[in-house]
């Protein structure tokens, strides 16, 4: 005997048709799910609590330390090492007068001066005496009065200069080497690099007691100068990257650092992850697809007035952090300042924003024992 299902009622057939029409399960239409309150219920709907995901710990905030009438920016991981001294200079507290363009009516082309700037770089608009006075004040604030100071003739390269045993006959303010990074493990030597938007990087190896000071603009970043400095420290001093503490000082931030297609293409050719460091139409610029002048007659502009080229914004801090991490420095041992030199011209110098301006210094050195 064959049992046949009973004929479906008219309501059941209607519900089946609606379920098929809207691709909704039939049970959903026929009944309210047990965990969903009905519209007639007066109770409040239950809110499902979602557990918060653990956020990575942020590195300790950088500190502005007042010393000798100046404000010095310090990276906490380096400040904990008693055998070294370090610091990033700021703008206030010096003897220099920064030239400022006067835009007032009737004063076109004239320039005024803003006094009290701690300019640490030699410039046409500043006297050598004032710069030396500013430097002496900065080194005193660092507690480095008796240390030999070595700086560079920076050329936006990937050249690294090793500072050997102290030569008593050499000048205290030696600026002869042409390079963009300094390394040493000689006590009594202070390494210093100058910046005014480019990124300063200080490295310390607590195991071998070796240090480095690096100047990294976009060209130095492209050339991986920070990674090359680590490699040179390994060759010369036996440094292991997993032991290194890195401090990336204040530089121009992604918020203000506009670059063109040439820089975008260069970074794309060298770094697979370069897109992560740019904001804006990076893919179009890097591939050359976003050239506004490929057919000038289509722009509807008079001859000689092409449309502005598109720009992207580069994050040099993030790029150098990634380069250090790729070289083997643990992420927890890389600290970076979140201050933008272009946004904070009250505290720093910015060539991009001011053009005629001073120079900051980032310095690190090994204290003499005893």
- Domain housing 276: 258-314
Same domain, 174 and 268: no
pLDDT value, residue 55: 40
pLDDT of residue 310: 83
For the ranges 11-25, 229-243, 308-322, which has the lowest average pLDDT?
11-25
| Spatial distance between the Cα atoms of 308 and 287, rounded to a whole number of angstroms | 18
| 94 and 228 share one domain | yes
Q: How confident is the model at residue 258 (pLDDT cuts 50, 70, 90)?
A: very high
Q: Would the pLDDT of 291 be above 80?
A: no
Hey, is 363 helix, strand or coil?
strand
CA 189 → CA 166, 176, 182, 358, distances in Å?
7, 15, 11, 24
Give one word for 256, left, alpha or beta, with left for phi > 0 and alpha for psi -120 to 50: alpha
Share of the chain above pLDDT 90, in %: 67
If pLDDT is split at 50, 70 and 90, which confidence band does 108 have? very low
**In a shared domain, residues 75 and 171:** yes
**Rounded-to-integer distance, Cα 214 and Cα 225, Å:** 8
Are 225 and 280 within one domain? no
Same-domain pairing of 167 and 304: no
CA proximity to 243, closest of 216, 210, 200, 214? 210
- Indicate the pLDDT class of residue 42, thresholds 50, 70 and 90: very low
Q: Quick one: pLDDT band at residue 297, thresholds 50, 70, 90?
A: low
The verdict on residue 37 lying in a domain is no
In this structure, what CATH number is given to the domain that contains residue 351? 3.60.140.10
Claim to verify: residue 179 and residue 297 sit in the same structural domain: no
In a domain, 53, yes or no: no
Whole-structure pTM value:
0.79
The answer to whether residue 286 scores a pLDDT higher than 50 is yes
Residues 132 and 207 in one domain: yes
Average pLDDT rounded to a whole number, residues 322-349: 97
Residue 48 lies inside a defined structural domain of this protein? no
173 lies in some domain:
yes
Q: If you average pLDDT over every residue of the chain, what do you get?
A: 83
Per-residue pLDDT of 193-251, as tens digits, reads 999 999 999 999 999 999 999 999 999 999 999 999 999 999 999 999 999 999 999 99
Task: Examine residue 28 and state whether it is found in any structural domain, yes or no.
Answer: no
Is residue 82 domain-shared with residue 210, that is, in the same domain? yes
**Higher pLDDT pick, 151 / 16:** 151
Same domain, 101 and 137: yes
Query: What is the spatial distance between Cα 194 and Cα 179, in angstroms, rounded to a whole number?
Result: 12
Query: Are residues 264 and 162 both part of a single domain?
Result: no
pLDDT at 100: 76
pLDDT at position 109, please?
46
Any domain includes 33: no
Neighbours of 8 (CB within 10 A): 11
Residue 203 CA to residue 226 CA, distance in Å, equals 9
Q: Which of 60-74, 103-117, 287-301, 322-336 has the highest mean pLDDT?
A: 322-336
What is residue 8's predicted lDDT score, i.e. its pLDDT? 46
Specify whether 183 is located in the same domain as 130. yes
Rg (C-alpha) for the chain, rounded Å, is 30
- Nearest C-alpha neighbor of 73 from the set 165, 172, 195, 177: 195
* 8 Å CB contact between 93 and 136: no
Q: Specify whether the CB–CB gap between 193 and 180 falls below 8 A.
A: yes
Residues 288, 221, single domain; the answer is no
pLDDT band at 1 (very low <50, low <70, confident <90, very high): very low
Q: Is 201 helix (H, G, I), strand (E, B) or coil?
A: strand
- Number of structural domains found in the chain: 2
* Within a domain: 99: yes
Reported confidence tier of residue 12, pLDDT bands at 50, 70, 90: low
**Domain-embedded: residue 164:** yes
């Amino acid at each position: 005997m064959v049992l046949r299902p009973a004929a479906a009622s008219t309501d059941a057939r209607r519900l089946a048709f609606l379920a098929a029409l809207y691709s909704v399960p039939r049970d959903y239409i026929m009944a309210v799910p047990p965990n969903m309150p009905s519209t007639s219920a007066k109770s409040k709907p239950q809110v499902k609590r979602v557990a918060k995901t653990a956020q990575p710990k942020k590195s300790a905030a950088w500190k502005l330390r007042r010393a000798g009438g100046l404000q010095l920016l310090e990276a906490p991981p380096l400040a904990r090492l008693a055998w070294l001294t370090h610091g990033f200079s700021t703008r206030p507290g010096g003897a220099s007068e920064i030239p400022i363009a006067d835009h007032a009516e009737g004063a076109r082309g004239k320039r005024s001066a803003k006094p009290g700037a701690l300019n640490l770089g030699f410039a046409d608009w500043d006297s050598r005496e004032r710069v030396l006075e500013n430097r002496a004040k900065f080194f005193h604030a660092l507690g480095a009065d008796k240390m030999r100071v070595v700086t560079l003739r920076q050329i936006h390269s990937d050249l690294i200069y090793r500072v050997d045993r102290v030569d008593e006959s050499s000048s205290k303010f030696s600026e002869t080497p042409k390079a963009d990074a300094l390394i040493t493990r000689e006590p009594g030597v202070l390494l210093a690099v100058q910046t005014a938007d480019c990124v300063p990087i200080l490295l310390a190896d607590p195991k071998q007691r070796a240090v480095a000071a690096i100047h990294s603009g976009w060209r130095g970043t492209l050339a991986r100068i920070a990674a090359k400095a680590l490699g040179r420290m390994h060759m010369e001093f036996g440094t292991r990257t997993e032991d290194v503490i890195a401090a990336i000082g204040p530089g121009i931030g992604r918020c203000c650092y506009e670059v063109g297609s040439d820089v975008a293409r260069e970074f794309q050719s060298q770094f697979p992850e370069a897109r992560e460091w740019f904001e804006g139409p990076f893919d179009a610029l890097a591939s050359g697809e976003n050239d506004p002048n490929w057919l000038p007659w289509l722009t509807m502009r008079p001859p000689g007035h092409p449309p502005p080229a598109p720009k992207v914004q580069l994050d040099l801090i993030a790029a150098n952090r990634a380069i250090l991490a790729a070289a083997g420095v643990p992420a927890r041992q890389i600290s970076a300042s979140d201050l933008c030199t272009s946004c904070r011209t009250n505290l720093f110098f910015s060539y991009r924003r001011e053009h005629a301006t001073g120079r900051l210094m980032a310095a690190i050195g090994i204290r003499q024992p005893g």
